[in-house]
Each structure stands twice: as C-alpha cells, then as structure tokens.
Structure 1
Amino acid sequence: MRSSFKKYRNNWIAIILLIALSVVLIQYSHHVKHIASIVDNRPAVQRFYEEPKWDGPLEMAHGDQVEKQIEAKYAASPLQRHRKLNSIKHLSSCSVPNHKPGAANILLNDANLEGLMSRVVFTRSDSLPTDVARFNPNILPYPAGSQYPYIGFVRESLEKKQEIDNSWRHSVWTCDLDWETVDTFGQQLLKCQTQPKRLEIDHWKSKKDSCFKWPWISSGLGQIDPRVFFSPLGEPLMIFGSNGPENCVAQFVVDLRRYVPDLSQRMKLSNVPMRFSNVTYLTRQPPLAEMEKNYFMLFDETNQIFIHHELAERSLALMDDPAQRNLAVYSQAPECVLKLRHSMPDQKRQKIRIHQATNSLRVTLCEYPCEPTLQNTVLVFIAHIKYENWLKVYYRRNLIVMNATAPFEILARSENLNYAGADERQIIYTVSMSWDHVHYRTHAQIPLHYQETNAEGELQTVPKPKVTTADNDLVNDFYHGWLDDTVMIGLGINDKESGVIHVKASKLLDCLEICR
C-alpha cells in the first residue's frame, strides 16, 4: 500500500513540475515578444563622425538631420543609377584557341622577357632574419621622371612572440623599388633601393572579451593584410586590419600621406584632397564576425565611396550611410560565383571558402580611344577560393566583373588565374592591383577630325571621343583604364615572399563565364 501511494505521489509531483515549467516558458515567451516589439519600434541610433578619425571609443548619436540627408541621397542615387551593360556579350569572347570550359587563364608577365612572375625583395640586404617575413606586396607607380619607378608597401610578420603584451606583432613597411638583375640566371626582380621604413601607426586593444578564437591578439595586433590603392581622385589609401572597437579584428582606412610625409610631393599630389588623414574605422551591419577581413572600396560613376564587405554572403554599403544598409540585397552573389564553393569529400577536414582579395579597378571594355560610358565600363576585383585540408592551404584566383553603378551587379567571372612562373603547390595569394600607366601606356594624340570605320567598311568623320578627365567623369589616371592598358598585380608567396606581374587588362578579362 505504501509503495503504491509513493508511486502515485511521485507521479503527481512530476505533473506539478511540468505544469510549473510550462507556465514559466509561456511567461518567458511573452517577455521575449515584448522585448522584440520594443526593439522593433525604438528610434534607430546611428553612428556618424564629424570627420574621419579613430580616437578609441565610438561616439553614438541620433543625428536626425544627418540621417535625413543620408536617406535622401541614399534613396535618390545609388539604386536609381543602375545601368544595363551593352557590352556584356564581349566578355564571353576568348582569344585562346580551343579554350575548354573550366581551363585556367594563364597570365604571362609583360615585364619579363620569359613571361614569368618577377620576385619583389623588400630589403636592401640579401636576406631577412629567419624569424622575420615580409610578404603580400602593394606597389604603386611613381609619376614619370621620378628617381625610382615604384613605391612598395609590405606586411612584416614576426614568427616569434614579442615581449610587449605577450602578443604577435605585425606591421607595414615601405621603400622605393627599382629593377635589378639577378647575376645567377639573369632574371629581373624589384628590390628596395632605399632603406625600408616602418609606418608608425598607433596600436590599440580589441573590445574586451571579443577575441574568443585568438585571445592572444586582443592587444597590440598591429596591422595585418594591408591593401594599398589609388582612389579616382589620386589619394594613396590603405585598408588594413587591426584590433577592433566592436569585435576582435576590424578594418580601417588611412591616407598614406599621413605616415609617409613627403609622399604627396613625390607623387605630385599637392592638389589632391586628403579625406582620410586619420585612421578611419570601417564597419558594417551586425552581426560582425570575430575577425573582419579584406574590405575594399568601390567607386561609382560619381566617385561616391561604397564599402564591399563580403562576396559569398554578399554585403556592401554606401560609406556615408550611418546605418550601413546592405545594398547587396539588390545584387546578391550569383550562382556562377557560389558554385565555386562546392562540397568536399571529407567535410570535417576539408573546407572551401570564398574570400575577397584585392582592391577594385574601373575598366572600359574596348581599347583607347573608345569613349567610356556606363554601357561599356565595369568594375573588377580578384577573389580567392580557399581550400583548407587540415593544416594545408591552397588558393585559386578568379576575376570578378561588376556593373560600374550601384548596386554593382556581378556580371561575369574568370576561371582560375594562373600566374606564369608561380608554383601552384605553394600559397599564391593575390594582394593588390594598380594601373601602371606611367611605364606602359602609349596613347597617341587623337586628331581633331576623328574617323572611324562604319558597318560598310568606309571611313567616316565622327565627333572626337571624350576620353580625358576634363570631359568624361569615368576617366582618371588612377582608377580607370582601357583593355589595352597594363595592370600591375602584387602576389604573396607562402606567407614569406613577394612577387609581381604586369598584364594587359584584356588578358585579365579574357574567356570569362557570363553570370546572367
């Protein structure tokens, strides 16, 4: 009798506990819905800066007037300026005989008689200490008549931990570069002609408890993954990663004239504005990854700045938009890009990721003196397909072609870019692209009475094409080029060394797969 009573008592106790738990869950559900309704209805708190700067803690403000101005510009300009590209069919043409779908696009180096990749040495001596590596080069051309042809910026990483803050240290170094010939086998390489100098950029700490995977980098990371490029105005800018104010590692931009005092004079940029004289924090809509990497800038036809955050789960926003609303909802990554991220046999050990790699450039899809328009001009950048097999890493590289107007619809992509002379078994990482107009452009002066061949094969006089910065907003000497212009591509090798190739834009945009 007692055992039976005990059995029933235990059952009743269990039933009562279940009822009590249900009541708690229902109350919690109502509470969550209430909180959600409050969040959905609360006024938006936006971030804005009176000037580009990084002074530590972020300033928060409602900024109603600023928000209204941004809303008007955001609504009236980016999405309404979308243009249909008339030259899209030209992208599918291929100059390679019997080119097979999926075959790599092999790029020869125009700066080397053998067509092979050239090495870049960022030291005045023959070698660096064994615990120091300088890799991932960024190279900009000096103006004609300069003492040296190029200036280089490179990441330096120390393989040993520093005593300061017990953290890893990374930094950016610069020097002037010129060609030298290797005595052993007569190859040319770019080498520092001036003593490399470190850019003295301040250090700061990440937000507290934001570095879960990499706790040792929460203080004093330094600068990683520098990307150096010219804006359409001629500003020499650098985007880099460092300790973040909201997450572990964030992205920042700065004008390099801030840290290379005579750069403006050497580059002849005295009339070029300096909008990023202070290190400027670049953010995006949350949630932020623990480590944000490789943002790059897009410049539309009016040279407004957009920040491209991510390619696969595409994210881009107008830089002036305090809310950083994602424009990619109107131009998501197409299947031609996403299919590169195919499944692997061993899902636990093998992974494939799509990574942004370089800055962007503006290209007109014809040779000079073809007149650049919104119907024949695109933006391009290089992305990486990263293969991870346990501790081994391997990259494939693809050129991505976009509309030149917001929301920058992806139009086409290349097959794997293979740099002649590079060992595909190594980590070959594309870092930067820049136009080398100074050393390779050979544009003839356009005659006053310009003639073209019509459909019947007859010469006819036509209006002189608008191909200068004075009469065409798409044209400039820094961010824009034609198919017959030369692109200089900086390469990182095995996270240890650097390389560079020069290639015609027409070769980069050859044998493309159309995405629509």
Structure 2
Amino acid sequence: MARRDRKTTFYILFLSLLLSLLILYKISLPKRLSPKTIPIPNVTTQLRFNERLIQVDNAESTTGKKSSRLSRLGMTGKSRSKAEQTGADPNLEFVEFMMTCSTRGSPNAEIFDTFVSLKYQIMEVRVEYDANSITYNPTIVALPSSSHYQFLIVSRIYSDGYTQRSVICEGKYMDETKDNAYGFPVTTRIISCATAPKELVLPPTPARDCLSNNFMAQIPGFHDPRVFWSNDGAPLMIFNQQSRYGCFGLWLIDLRSVYPSLRYRVNRGLLNHYPTVIEVTRRERRAVEKNYIIFYDSETSESYVQYEIGFNNRHISRLIGNGLSSFNVTSPNEHSCITEDAMWHQATNAIKIVLCNYGECQPTPENTAYLAFLHKKETMAYKVQYKRYLVLWRTKYPFEVIAISDKFIRFDDEDAWEQKFDVEGKFMYTVSIAWETNLNRHEGYLSEKVIISLGVGDHGNAAVILPARDLLVCMRSCLY
C-alpha cells in the first residue's frame, strides 16, 4: 500500500511539473494578435506605370506637345499626398516611414546632401589571438540563449597576403574603465572574446585555372568568411577559397563540423547538410568569384543564392543540391533600382526582417523582407572608400527589390575610427549583419536591435548596435 501511495505521489508530481512547463511555454510565446497584413506592392505596378509613360511619350512625339508628368498621368488638379510626394504608395504606411528623409522624421539620424549619419557610436571588438597577430574584418552572430556567451565571432588574421588565416571565439559584452585626457574615469563598452580564439582549419581545395595569376592557386587558407543562420537554424559559413571551376570561388560549411561545441547549442535533430566544404557553383562564372548571399524562399524554404546586384544587373539562382545551381531566375520584369554605373558589390549576409514592431503583427511573406548591405567602392588618391547602402527585397519568388538607400550610411564617430589606425588608404568595411539576440526565430522586427560588424582599414575589429528601424531611413522605393 505504501509503495502504491509513493507511485501515485510521484505521478502527481510529474504531471504537475509537465503542466507548469506547458504554462511557462505558453507565457513565453509572442503576443498573438490578429494577423495584420502589410502588403508589398507587386512589380506589375511599375510595369503598368512604365507602359502608361511610354504611351504618353509616343503621343507627345507625334503631336510635339509637352506637359507636366502629373498632367500626362491624368492627375491635373489633384493634390498629392505625402506618400505620393515621397514616391511611396499612399496605402502603405511602412513604405512611407522608410522614405522619410529628414532629421525631424528620423531623430536618430542627421541628413546630409549625400549621406546619412546615424547617431550610434562604434564599439571595439577585441579578438586577441597572440601577441604578434592583428585581427580584422569580424563576422558576428548571436548564439542561442542556451549558450554561455552571447556572440560567435570569426575574425581574419592580418598577413602578408600569401597566407590566409581566421580564428573563432565566443564573445560577450565587457565594460572597460580608463582615464580620459582630463584624468576622469570613463567606462566604455566593448565586445571581447570570452573563450580563447582558435584557428579555423578547413580542407584545402585545388584551383582549376588561375590564368596569369598562378601564384593565387598556391595561397593556403580561406578568406572573407561570413557566418549566418540557415532557414532551419544551422550555423553556416560561406568563404572564399580556390575553386574547382576557376581560380577562386565560394564554399559553404556547417560550423558544427569544425567547431564541435556548437553541436550542443542548436537542435540536436537538425541535419547537417554541409558536413564538409561544398562549393557553390555558378553558370557563366568568372575566374574569381566573391560576395555571394544565401537566402531562402519564405513559402517553399528552398535555398537561393544572389551572386550580384548592381547597375542594370542582378543574378539569382536556386541551389539544387550539393552546391549545384539553376539558371538565372531573376524576374525579367524587374527594373534596376541602382541608377549609378559604379563598382557595386554585396558586402554582408542577409537577415529577414518583419516590417512592424514586435507584437504588432504576425510575420507573413507580404510583410517580411530580406535586408543586406551593399558597397559602392570608390578609389581616390591614397584612399579607398566603401560606401554602404542598404537594400531590401521580397522573401518569396521572384524576390523583387523593394527599396534601397537613397544616400550612403555612416555612423556617428566613423571619422575618428578611420583615423585610429595609422595606415594608408584608411576605410571602414561592412562585414556582416545579425540580430543582436538569438530568440530561435528566423526573423526579427523593426523594434529589435541588429549588430553590424566592421573592419577598420584591414587592421582592426569594430561593431555598431542599433534598432533595425533606424537603419531604414532615406530609402528609395524600387517598385514604382
């Protein structure tokens, strides 16, 4: 009888514990409101608009008459709304706030003629491998909440160019107090490695053909790593290394294969689709390929690669498997949103953002976008400048570009950081973007913070943290 009572008590306690866990789980879920759809206009809007302009232009060419654009569109006598004046659809509030380009509308931004200065200070990212090594160009992601430390950092080691090396560590915020020039103590927040940095060693790959640059085929190691979370929560790294199809190409690997402690931070049942290095192929490729962005269709979860986006040029392919890719699936109806013929290239990975504050809507393909940075490279006397621009595109096929920065983006104390390192050709290179906190979601919201990692003149590590909403200022719509 006593044994039966003990069993009954045990079962009651066990069921009570399960019920408590279920209640805690329900409480921790985001607030569920009725879905609030924030539609993104279809690219056919632009096509109808262009067709109308062509018809009017053809009519003008035969009659020899000229008129204003408003009268040509049949809008004479009608006052335009604020959204129409900014180029936004008057029914889309989120587009209107992104098109705001004034300090009054964006209190955390200072607007200049050619750029936007965001009022957020850059912080140091400290990665100390050994006394003789200089680290630079960090790529940073937030680790799951089950981890001891908040960040995973992969940083390159400066070398003479003939050897490529990178290290990995787990990082955290650290407050550092030093006396300023007047002798008063000042506390500065930095991000620092909390674990000893370890060198990442990956299998070497042979180059098929480096043409006249045969020395490049002999350079050991990989470079330009970018770490990001896949659509199902796997920690992936894309990097440059010798190519089987040319000289240099882009390769993928699951970091759990080379940094085993990550195996205990993610879903243990999650398959490892990239257990070793796998090259991402490209049809009609060049000898040296760089700066690919991997992203996922929000409806089908299929993997895609955006090879490049620039002046009258965009190339997207679907990843079929084992690194193989399809033909170019970029919509033939998409018009280029980049109007300047310059040296454009993709700078960072892409993150998924829901265009509302947390708790105000449910994520859908209609209110969600991918966000990444582009660089416009400008070379002047003794100086190379990488001007950063933000670009957003749809999360479902055909992935139309929604908007792009109308002015390039700078941060509050960027000039001081550019002068911090006494090197020729000082510049700030935008390396990666991630959500500051990993909440085991595939997306973040406007009200949540992002961490943007920066390389300082190939001689230092830095980062800046700010709400995602404050990045989306002075945007130019690409759908009209």
Normalised to the residue count of structure 2, the TM-score between the two structures is: 0.71
Aligned letter for 2:165?
A: S
Partner of 1:153: 154
Structure 2 spans left out of the alignment, 5+ residues: 1-41, 46-88, 179-185, 420-425
Over residues 413-451 of structure 1, what are the superposed CA-to-partner deviations in whole Å (9 max), with x where a residue is unaligned? 11211122222673111111111234xx8xxxxxxxxxx
What is the deviation of 1:94? 4.7
Contact kept, 8 Å, 1:157 with 1:169, in 2: the verdict is no
Contact kept, 8 Å, 2:150 with 2:437, in 1: the verdict is no
Aligned mate of 1:284, from 278, 282, 285: 282
The yes-or-no answer on 1:421 pairing with 2:413 is yes
| C-alpha distance in structure 1 between counterparts of 2:136 and 2:270, whole Å | 29
Q: How does 1:216-231 map to 2 (within 5 A)?
A: 216-231=215-230
| C-alpha distance in structure 2 between counterparts of 1:261 and 1:326, whole Å | 36
Contact kept, 8 Å, 2:43 with 2:333, in 1: the verdict is no
Over residues 336-360 of structure 1, what are the superposed CA-to-partner deviations in whole Å (9 max), with x where a residue is unaligned? 4232x3xxxxxxxxxx410101111
Aligned mate of 1:174, from 152, 168, 175: 168
Over residues 446-502 of structure 1, what are the superposed CA-to-partner deviations in whole Å (9 max), with x where a residue is unaligned? xxxxxxxxxxxxxxxxxxxxxxxxxxxxxxx34311111111111111011111111
| C-alpha distance in structure 2 between counterparts of 1:194 and 1:118, whole Å | 19
Aligned mate of 2:122, from 107, 117, 120: 117
Contact kept, 8 Å, 2:226 with 2:238, in 1: the verdict is yes
Q: Secondary structure at the match of 1:182?
A: strand
What is the deviation of 1:331? 5.8
Q: Secondary structure at the match of 2:338?
A: helix
The yes-or-no answer on 1:354 pairing with 2:344 is yes
Partner of 1:205: 206
1:260–1:364 CA distance, 2 compared to 1 (3 A)? same
Q: How does 1:67-146 map to 2 (within 5 A)?
A: 87-94=94-101, 96-97=103-104, 102-108=113-119, 115-123=120-128, 128-129=131-132, 132-144=133-145, 146=147
| C-alpha distance in structure 2 between counterparts of 1:324 and 1:169, whole Å | 33
Over residues 159-214 of structure 1, what are the superposed CA-to-partner deviations in whole Å (9 max), with x where a residue is unaligned? 2x6xxxxxx11122101212233332421211222221111201122114x242x3
The yes-or-no answer on 1:482 pairing with 2:476 is no
What is the deviation of 1:88? 3.7
The yes-or-no answer on 1:271 pairing with 2:302 is no
Contact kept, 8 Å, 2:233 with 2:266, in 1: the verdict is no
Aligned mate of 2:305, from 307, 332, 355: 307
Over residues 280-320 of structure 1, what are the superposed CA-to-partner deviations in whole Å (9 max), with x where a residue is unaligned? 1111111x222100101121113211001011131110011
Aligned mate of 1:368, from 350, 354, 358: 358
| C-alpha distance in structure 1 between counterparts of 2:309 and 2:449, whole Å | 26
Partner of 1:388: 379
Contact kept, 8 Å, 1:107 with 1:503, in 2: the verdict is no
Q: Secondary structure at the match of 1:146?
A: coil
| C-alpha distance in structure 2 between counterparts of 1:507 and 1:325, whole Å | 36
| C-alpha distance in structure 2 between counterparts of 1:299 and 1:488, whole Å | 21
1:206–1:434 CA distance, 2 compared to 1 (3 A)? same
Partner of 1:436: 436
What is the deviation of 1:89? 4.0
Contact kept, 8 Å, 2:236 with 2:252, in 1: the verdict is yes
Aligned letter for 1:356?
A: Q
Partner of 1:49: none
What is the deviation of 1:118? 0.6
What is the deviation of 1:244? 0.8
Q: Secondary structure at the match of 1:363?
A: strand
| C-alpha distance in structure 1 between counterparts of 2:291 and 2:164, whole Å | 16
What is the deviation of 1:82? 8.5
Q: Secondary structure at the match of 2:215?
A: helix
Q: CA RMSD in A?
A: 2.5
Contact kept, 8 Å, 2:129 with 2:167, in 1: the verdict is no
Aligned letter for 2:357?
A: E
| C-alpha distance in structure 1 between counterparts of 2:243 and 2:335, whole Å | 27
Over residues 54-77 of structure 1, what are the superposed CA-to-partner deviations in whole Å (9 max), with x where a residue is unaligned? xxxxxxxxxxxxxxxxxxxxxxxx
Q: Secondary structure at the match of 1:293?
A: coil
What is the deviation of 1:100? 5.5
Contact kept, 8 Å, 2:101 with 2:111, in 1: the verdict is no
| C-alpha distance in structure 1 between counterparts of 2:201 and 2:111, whole Å | 49
Partner of 1:294: 291
Q: How does 1:466-505 map to 2 (within 5 A)?
A: 477-505=440-468
Aligned letter for 1:427?
A: F
| C-alpha distance in structure 2 between counterparts of 1:295 and 1:205, whole Å | 20
1:101–1:391 CA distance, 2 compared to 1 (3 A)? closer
| C-alpha distance in structure 1 between counterparts of 2:471 and 2:136, whole Å | 23
Q: How does 1:446-465 map to 2 (within 5 A)?
A: none
Identity %, equivalent residues: 25
Over residues 229-250 of structure 1, what are the superposed CA-to-partner deviations in whole Å (9 max), with x where a residue is unaligned? 1112111100000001111110
Contact kept, 8 Å, 2:203 with 2:277, in 1: the verdict is no
| C-alpha distance in structure 2 between counterparts of 1:407 and 1:225, whole Å | 28
What is the deviation of 1:90? 4.3
| C-alpha distance in structure 1 between counterparts of 2:260 and 2:171, whole Å | 18
Structure 1 spans left out of the alignment, 5+ residues: 1-80, 109-114, 162-167, 342-351, 442-476
Q: Secondary structure at the match of 1:289?
A: coil
Aligned letter for 2:100?
A: S
What is the deviation of 1:333? 6.0
1:93–1:432 CA distance, 2 compared to 1 (3 A)? same
1:502–1:323 CA distance, 2 compared to 1 (3 A)? closer
| C-alpha distance in structure 2 between counterparts of 1:228 and 1:419, whole Å | 23
Larger gyration radius, structure 1 or structure 2:
1
Deviates more, 1:376-385 or 1:390-399: 390-399
The yes-or-no answer on 1:248 pairing with 2:211 is no
| C-alpha distance in structure 2 between counterparts of 1:327 and 1:101, whole Å | 37
Aligned letter for 1:328?
A: T
Partner of 2:64: none
| C-alpha distance in structure 2 between counterparts of 1:272 and 1:123, whole Å | 32
